[in-house]
Structure 1
Amino acid sequence: MDYAAARQTLLSKPEAIEDFPFGPEVAVFKVRGKMFATLGVEDGEGRMNLKCDPVEALALRDIFPSVTPGYHMNKKHWNTLALDGGVPPGEIERMIDNSYALVVKGLTKADRLALELRYGRETLFPA
């Protein structure tokens, strides 16, 4: 998955917006004001930060050399993924889905229920 495909996948999530609070180099993707991903380019290579369950975060780092502790993030809860072809696209999509779902789960009850009513639980929390 390249930068453009990653960006398209991130923006396809319900009510996802792209913001640039840190400048034009790093896109921040949010749902209801909460960040679920960042996407940027470093040394010509796309890099993405994704939220992750702490146990899964460690496992992904062991499995994929392209996955490292979250750059400029809480390394317990975030991973950085180099978009260098080292992780299959389907796995990247799963990681994006999980990051988005973790953030939605942390929203206020009112915001979470509003999203569930509008988009359905299956859309927000894919199996």
Structure 2
Amino acid sequence: MDIEQLREYCLSKPHATEDFPFDADTLVFKVLGKLFALVPLEKWENGLASINLKCDPDYAIQLREDFESIEAGWHMSKKHWNTLYIYKGELQPQFIKQLIDHSYNMVVKGMPKNLRETLH
């Protein structure tokens, strides 16, 4: 999965937007203003592709135990975020997409009902 495939997939989610709210290097994907993915572009340019995704705390622990390429979120809440090190080649594109879906759904699930309803 290259950066354009990842970007297109994130933007295919309902009401997803991209932004650079922190700096010119960190591409952020949001749904209705809430973060669901962060991508450090400089790392991608240097062959160290990674992405930070929100995750259910119990599932996050399971993923970290099952995959060497998944660690607690770098510069994020270690309980609720994972960093996927895509460049290591362990994680298949379809699985990465499933984890993006999980992150997106976690963010939507945490929204007030009136915001969630605007997504339909």
Q: Which residue pairs with 2:76 in the alignment?
A: 73
Gaps of 5+ in 2: none
Q: Which amino acid aligns with 1:34?
A: K
Query: What SS class does the counterpart of residue 45 from structure 1 fall into?
Result: coil
Moved >2 Å (runs of 4+) = none
Describe the superposition over 1:16-65 as per-residue Cα deviations: whole angstroms up to 9, x where unpaired.
00010111111011011100110123243221000001111111111111
Q: Which residue pairs with 1:113 in the alignment?
A: 117
TM-score (normalizing by structure 1): 0.86
Q: Distance in 2 between matches of 1:104 and 1:2?
A: 26
Q: Which residue pairs with 1:123 in the alignment?
A: none
Q: Which amino acid aligns with 2:92?
A: P
Where do residues 45-124 of structure 1 align in structure 2 (5 Å cutoff)?
Answer: 45-84=48-87, 85-115=89-119, 118=120
Q: Distance in 1 between matches of 2:63 and 2:7?
A: 21
CA RMSD, 1 decimal: 1.1
Determine if the alignment matches structure 1 residue 33 to structure 2 residue 33. Answer: yes
Q: Distance in 2 between matches of 1:12 and 1:83?
A: 20
Mean alpha-carbon deviation: is it higher for 1-10 or for 23-32? 1-10
Q: Distance in 2 between matches of 1:100 and 1:81?
A: 15
Q: Which amino acid aligns with 2:54?
A: K
Q: Distance in 2 between matches of 1:2 and 1:77?
A: 25
Q: Distance in 2 between matches of 1:91 and 1:44?
A: 20
Q: Which residue pairs with 1:122 in the alignment?
A: none
Q: Distance in 1 between matches of 2:22 and 2:47?
A: 19
Gaps of 5+ in 1: 119-127
Q: Distance in 1 between matches of 2:38 and 2:105?
A: 15
Q: Distance in 2 between matches of 1:22 and 1:47?
A: 17
